[in-house]
């Protein structure tokens, strides 16, 4: 009897806590080092959400283990809405498939709140490379099997897996060279150590204008609105598209009223000209998917990349 009485007394307090959310600062975990594209998204969104919620979002960078360290921290946090996470392609799609040490389930252990944005890579070569298009690249790789090396930001990155998808779909033998980030891969490309690389679109466009590289194509499903002159890889080799993405999530079990409030305010923030303009400047496309759509997207993303990851022998 006493137990039931205590539970009944606790219900109004629990409901009040949900209605008053947030009553203190919210922690937003970024599972990458400071200064990268994830930081841009987190700080931009954090500022807008903080204004809407009336409480600051405190950015906490928790890099390590291919973005899985900070991701696991949030998976194990209290599901009260006060600990949130910037989710990303490597930590949600790639790592749970490829790394047996990952101790979280990408769907079961999270409340996926909203998808924020997507961004492709550009397939780039040196300006003096003997190929001027994806068709040239594929033809050259067929004539020189195993002699074409491409770089990416690391094993399991969107660039790596897009290269693997291109290898499979085009029936060519190209070799992957993993780097600890896009910058060292780009440096080796310029030095002639590798034949091609997947690089961020903004950097690629800037370097191409400087005459250092040539952009063969982008990995988005469709041409980019900001650079419509650049073709997609899929225009030459069907089925080859690979984008990175960012989302917002929290631990599994966040109460529905809190989750709905976070989802609503996040989607509203993504529609503001300031946020859309800033993300577009950095080569990202605002997607603004709600919770249910994001879960469907993640399920589809995992189905798409699982055989590629296994074929690349990451697991």
pLDDT tens per residue, range 98-140: 899 999 999 999 999 999 999 999 999 999 999 999 999 999 9
Q: Which residue has the higher pLDDT, 293 or 182?
A: 293
pLDDT tens per residue, range 162-184: 999 999 999 999 999 988 778 88
| % pLDDT > 70, the chain | 94
> What's the CATH code, domain 120-235?
3.40.190.10
Look-up of token digits 């080799």: 237
Whether pLDDT at 231 is above 70: yes
* Chain centroid to CA 81: 22
- Report how far apart, in Å, the C-alpha atoms of 289 and of each of 68, 115, 147 are: 23, 5, 41
Query: What average pLDDT score do residues 221-247 get?
Result: 94
Q: Enumerate the CATH 3.40.190.10 domain ranges in the chain, comma separated.
A: 120-235
Q: Measure the CA angle with vertex 294, ends 276 and 154; round to 5°.
A: 80
* Domain made up of 26-119+243-311: CATH architecture: 3-Layer(aba) Sandwich (3.40)
Residue by residue, DSSP assigns 209-227 as: HTTSEEEEEE-SSS--SS-
Look-up of token digits 């009553």: 23
Q: How far apart are CA 189 and CA 204, in angstroms?
A: 12
Q: How far apart are CA 257 and CA 269, in angstroms?
A: 18
Phi and psi of 25, rounded to 5°?
Answer: -60, 150
Q: Enumerate the CATH 3.40.190.150 domain ranges in the chain, comma separated.
A: 26-119+243-311
Query: What average pLDDT score do residues 274-302 get?
Result: 93
């Amino acid at each position: 009897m006493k137990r039931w009485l205590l539970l009944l007394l606790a219900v109004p307090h629990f409901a009040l806590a949900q209605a008053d959310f947030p009553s203190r600062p919210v922690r937003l975990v970024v599972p990458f080092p400071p200064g990268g594209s994830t930081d841009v998204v987190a700080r931009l969104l954090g500022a807008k959400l903080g204004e809407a919620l009336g409480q600051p979002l405190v950015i906490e960078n928790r890099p390590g283990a291919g973005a899985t360290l900070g991701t696991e921290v949030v998976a194990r946090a209290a599901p009260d809405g006060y600990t949130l996470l910037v989710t990303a392609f490597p930590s949600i799609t790639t790592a749970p498939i490829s790394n047996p040490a990952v101790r979280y389930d990408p769907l079961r252990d999270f409340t996926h709140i909203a998808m924020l944005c997507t961004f492709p890579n550009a397939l780039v070569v040196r300006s003096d490379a003997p190929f001027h298009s994806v068709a040239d690249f594929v033809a050259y790789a067929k004539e020189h099997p195993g002699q074409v090396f491409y770089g990416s930001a690391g094993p399991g990155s969107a660039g790596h897996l897009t290269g693997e998808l291109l290898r499979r779909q085009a029936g060519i033998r190209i070799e992957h060279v993993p780097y600890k980030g896009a910058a060292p891969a780009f440096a080796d490309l310029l030095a002639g150590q590798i034949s091609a690389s997947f690089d961020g679109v903004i950097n690629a466009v800037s370097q191409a204008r400087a005459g250092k590289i040539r952009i063969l194509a982008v990995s988005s499903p469709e041409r980019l609105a900001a650079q419509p002159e650049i073709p997609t890889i899929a225009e030459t080799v069907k089925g080859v598209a690979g984008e990175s993405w960012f989302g917002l999530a929290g631990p599994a079990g966040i109460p529905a009223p809190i989750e709905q409030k976070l989802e609503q305010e996040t989607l509203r923030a993504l529609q503001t000209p300031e946020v859309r303009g800033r993300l577009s400047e950095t080569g990202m496309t605002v997607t603004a998917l709600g919770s249910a759509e994001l879960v469907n997207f993640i399920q589809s993303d995992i189905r798409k990349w699982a055989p590629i990851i296994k074929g690349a022998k990451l697991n």
